[in-house]
Amino acid sequence: MKADITRFIRSGGDFEDTALALYRWQRERCPDYDRFCGDTEVRHWSEIPAVPTPLFQDIGFTCFEPSLASVVFRTSGTTAGRQGVIRLLDTAVYDLGSRQHAEACVGSLPTRGVSLVSASADSSLGHMCRSFVPDMPVFFSPDHGVDAAAAWAALRASVAEEGPVFIPGTAFALADWLDHPGEPVPVPDGSIVMVTGGFKGRASAVPTDALYARLQARLPGARLVGEYGMSELSSQLWAEPVGAPFRPPPWMRVQAVDPGTGEPCTRGQLRFFDLANHQTVLAIESEDEGTVHPDGTVSLHGRLPGHSPRGCSLTVEEARDR
């Protein structure tokens, strides 16, 4: 199945046929998912049973023997302190799809950068950023938060050289970074600031438009783009420019459903059908609310009412409270 998914990512294909084939393949190889699906009859990709993200706190959902996993990603920011666990045999498909879709949305990625994303081995976001720029210095840790002074110094040193820079960060981390006093740092043409996560925490919040304006003023010349992903997914959605609807890759479909009935709707609870999730389960039900537009792009509206905050930005708030 891996070869089929790799071929789809590289060259395209029929999403419907591939999704149904992958669904059947996963039911045969993942007893937990097979039990979850029960006697469901599936005739279309949108009918494939989607696993709610909280279940990853208790169930592995792997299509291989879990002890063979070489990569473990953990979710972050659950108020109960429990983390979901996602195990993978390898990240070959993950890395291929991540870079291909990122470059399709934002163009060529810089080869140098300054990261405000966790370098923890179990962070899927950190893994993606390292795969984009392997030697990028990191100025955030879950224990200490953002090292703002060092990050600004590293950026000034980097822009003194030729070529664009990549600056990935969560909304919270970028806000903390901007709070450090200093003059604007013009960046080379082609430089990209990647904003991910939102102000999902409870202690503080900054209007997103204000954050974007501050970034643009402090980093003249930078392109601001948005990224959306989660540990349970192997693919990401990108917004270019930041604030625009998020664009899924060709090997993903997104569906909004009524959280009470599960019936499809325009604005509702988001489900993701990600072919790159070939090692786990392709259908994931998030706790996020969004609008799916006719062209397949997605506008996010935050967490569903009544659901606990969760996400990479909360890691920053937790670091502040230590």
pLDDT tens digit sequence for 101-117? 999 999 999 999 999 99
Sign of CA dihedral 40, 45, 47, 52: positive
Instruction: Catalogue all structural domains in the chain, each as residue range(s) with its CATH number.
Output: 93-244+308-320 (3.40.50)
pLDDT single digits (tens) 177-226: 999 999 999 999 999 999 998 644 444 556 788 999 999 999 999 999 99
Give the integer Cα–Cα distance in Å for 31 and 44.
Answer: 22
- Break the chain down into helix, strand, coil percent, rounded to 5: 35, 25, 45
Q: Is the pLDDT of residue 308 over 70?
A: no
Q: Are 246 and 195 in contact (CB under 8 A)?
A: no
Q: What integer is the mean pLDDT of 55-74?
A: 94
Q: Are 255 and 273 in contact (CB under 8 A)?
A: yes
pLDDT-derived band at 274 (thresholds 50, 70, 90) equals very high
In the structure encoding, which two tokens stand for residue 262, read together?
């599960």
* Nearest CA-CA partner of 175 in 202, 149, 207, 221: 207
Q: What integer is the mean pLDDT of 150-157?
A: 96
Query: Mean pLDDT, the chain, as a whole number?
Result: 91
pLDDT single digits (tens) 39-57: 999 999 999 999 999 999 9
Sign of CA dihedral 38, 74, 278, 97: positive
pLDDT-derived band at 22 (thresholds 50, 70, 90) equals very high
pLDDT at 206: 65
